[in-house]
Structure 1
Amino acid sequence: MLGWVFGKLWVVLLPVILGLLFATVLWPPTRFLRRHGWPPALAAAVVLLAFLGLLGGLIAVIAPQVADQVTELADQAADGLEQVQQWLQGPPFNLDQEQIGRYVDQAINSVQSNASNIAGYAATGATAVGNGLLNLLLALLLAFFFIKDGPRWVPWLAAQTGPRAAPHVAALSQKTWSTLSEFIKQQALVGFVDALFIGIGLWIFDVPLVIPLAVLTFFGAFIPIIGAFVAGAFAVLIALVDEGFTVALIIFGIVLLVQQIEGNVLQPIIQGRGFNLHSAVVILAVTAGSSLAGIIGAFLSVPVAALIAVVYRYTRDVFDGRHPEVAGDGTHTRVSGDDEGAVLTRASGTPG
């Protein structure tokens, strides 16, 4: 029933969730400014504008490179198709020109027969892009209010839940926020390491679109396992089109080596400080999220799974009599949040 309700309210929940993820990134600099006497609204506005400026600068750096090199890559792709055609004409396939032409004609006829479906997919894609931009705008607006008024949330929520539930609500709110923050920090570190070393490998072998591929690798890290695979496949494909099979094989080896070091060395070290989900759970979560909500679902699947795990573990500990976030006398819990100090929420529901 909860799944059905969330599905109906997804258009509202998605900007909220994205806004929370943005807030985890924007809160540390906002907290720094507030500690130095900046008003909450001004600190939140300055940090948000700086964040937008950083994204705009990144796009300004990437776009000219893609525009300059995409034509060259298209020409090289055409040359690559001609090489594939010549390869098919030799052993072991031994296809003649007429057979290859017939297969190409069949492919063209198939595309033409499905032209209406393709147009529908294009229209759906354009609608999805428009909805994505709208959700992004709403998420940024919500992130502004989250980082401006966020420290007031836990005392207010605890005051609405009554004296028995207030300590647990405050503790669980802090644990879920810490989990989201830890996820962003972990995946940003993993993405930076992957992008740095894979980008160096691409630069050494003179593969084009180094910066766009490095940025794609960085953001691919936020979709664990699947994102790294897709980003690595793009890097290998570009290397194959531009530099040939040998360089593509070397880039494949570099990508594989970096991902093995990340998965077997870096991930265990950084995940020891935060939540820990088994790789099978991560794969199932990404698969379920992508099938339910596409790319956005794949991106949000792991943090949502981690939050579910946090709620489950906390509830299990409460039933077992173990809830260290709540004081031994059951009267209060200390929750870190506001920059003026920790927020003390009493069991009576009154913010301390």
Structure 2
Amino acid sequence: MSATLSSPKTRAALRTSARISVELLLILVMLTVALWVLGRMWSVVWPLIVGLLLTTLTWPLTRFLRRRGWRPALAASVVTLLFLLGAVGVVALIAVPVASQSGELTDGVVEGLQKLREWAAGPPLNIGDDQITKALDTAVARAQDGLGSMVTAVVTGVSTVVNGVITAVLAVFLMFFFLKDGPRFLPWLARQLPGRLATDVPTVAARSWDTLGAFVRSQALVGLLDAVFIGLGLWILGVPLVLPLAVLTFVSAFVPIVGALFAGFVAVLIALVSNGPTDALIVLAIIVVVQQLEGNVFQPMIQSRGLGLHAAVILLAVTLGGSLAGIVGSLLAVPVAAVIAVVWNYVREQLSDPPQEPETDEPHTGVAVPS
């Protein structure tokens, strides 16, 4: 005997499916509108994001000074000044040694490229001049595209260098105010919100802040590992400018994909100019091994432990962010995914039923039983 469908149950199921579909469409529309508004306000949002990232990096020192009795304004001023001095020192550490040998490096680069061309034209490759020229043109075009993407990631929607400087200045000023007045923000926010929002929003904001700090610290640790291992390899091979290259490797770790490629290209090029093609190939092998360890071992393990995200989720988030918004999307994908996970976990906590106490016939004596 075949079973027949129940008309009331079918209609109820269809109504439920339609209601859920409409609700999902409304959520998608709201997200689209929010992203559109975010894009229109990006020139303001980007300095805010950079300021928050810098604040998470400099807040531990500020907190240390405040706990030692320093006034908030003084602690924030000292930390901001130290940050600026450190940034200028990093730039000088990279720029001054390179500039002092710029003439020699330029001549060596030209000579090195010519040697590569002659080597590729001979056996066993036997690549013709036309093929070499075409490959070089393609490489130059890709390098220009990559450089343009990196510049876009730095200024993000800002069309001139002046606006880029303004963005950096705004980020530093915002960092100062976040360091100075940050602990007072959540109590102020709680007073402005009505009802349950006064508890929920500050709680989610506090958890998101902890997550953002974990992301920046983990990224800095990954960059430090890259700089130490690559710098050690360069030092063993006797490649010049080891310290500037190590610093460049550390700084470029905060710009996914393009940063690592750029730092690796500079290191291999300098090794080629100074030590010859054999050491350049060894440097390339060292960089490839370190980058593979970083991308497949260090970064997923460190970030998954600090952010509470599975390594596969991190890899997928970076891929999705890069496909949607390029380098900026790759940079922000992991913290955004972590914040979404924070919000989801909090909502799930609020919607879950409290755990029920197991029923027992024995009276409760109030004495803790050791486990």
Which residue matches 1:79? 111
* Shift, 1:284, TM fit: 5.0
* Shift, 1:310, TM fit: 2.0
The correspondence of residues 48-67 of structure 1 with structure 2, limited to 5 A, is: 48-67=80-99
Alignment length (residue pairs): 309
Q: Matches of 1:88 and 1:224 in 2, distance apart?
A: 31
Which residue matches 1:9? 41
Deviations 1:118-173 (A, max 9, x none): 9xx9xx99944332221110011011111111111111112222232222212111
Q: Does the CA contact (< 8 Å) of 1:224 and 1:282 recur in 2?
A: no
Which residue matches 2:21? none
Change (3 A) 1:245 1:269: same
RMSD between superposed Cα atoms in Å: 3.5
Which segments of structure 1 move beyond 6 Å, counting only runs of 4 or more? none
- Partner AA of 1:154 in structure 2: L
* 2:173 is aligned with 1:138: no
* Shift, 1:234, TM fit: 3.5
The correspondence of residues 102-121 of structure 1 with structure 2, limited to 5 A, is: none
SS at match of 1:274: helix
* 2:258 is aligned with 1:252: no
Q: Does the CA contact (< 8 Å) of 1:285 and 1:301 recur in 2?
A: yes
* 2:264 is aligned with 1:238: no
Q: Matches of 1:23 and 1:252 in 2, distance apart?
A: 35
* Shift, 1:240, TM fit: 3.0
Q: Matches of 2:92 and 2:230 in 1, distance apart?
A: 22
Q: Does the CA contact (< 8 Å) of 1:223 and 1:286 recur in 2?
A: no
Change (3 A) 1:230 1:286: farther
SS at match of 1:37: coil
Q: Does the CA contact (< 8 Å) of 2:117 and 2:132 recur in 1?
A: no
Change (3 A) 1:290 1:132: farther
Give the TM-score of the pair, scaled to structure 1.
0.75
Change (3 A) 1:322 1:67: farther
Give the TM-score of the pair, scaled to structure 2.
0.71
Q: Matches of 1:102 and 1:255 in 2, distance apart?
A: 25
Deviations 1:288-336 (A, max 9, x none): 545665544443332223222322332233333479xxxxxxxxxxxxx
Q: Does the CA contact (< 8 Å) of 1:30 and 1:147 recur in 2?
A: yes
Aligned partner of 1:36 among 33, 50, 68: 68
* Shift, 1:71, TM fit: 2.3
Q: Which protein, 1 or 2, shows the higher relative CO under an 8 Å CA cutoff with sep ≥ 6?
A: 1
Aligned partner of 1:90 among 119, 122, 144: 122
Q: Matches of 1:46 and 1:153 in 2, distance apart?
A: 21
Change (3 A) 1:291 1:193: same
Aligned partner of 1:18 among 43, 46, 50: 50
Q: Does the CA contact (< 8 Å) of 2:208 and 2:339 recur in 1?
A: yes
Which residue matches 2:349? 317
Q: Which runs of 5+ in 1 are unaligned?
A: 112-117, 324-352
The correspondence of residues 169-208 of structure 1 with structure 2, limited to 5 A, is: 169-208=201-240
Q: Matches of 1:166 and 1:126 in 2, distance apart?
A: 36
* Shift, 1:226, TM fit: 5.8
SS at match of 2:307: coil
Which residue matches 1:166? 198
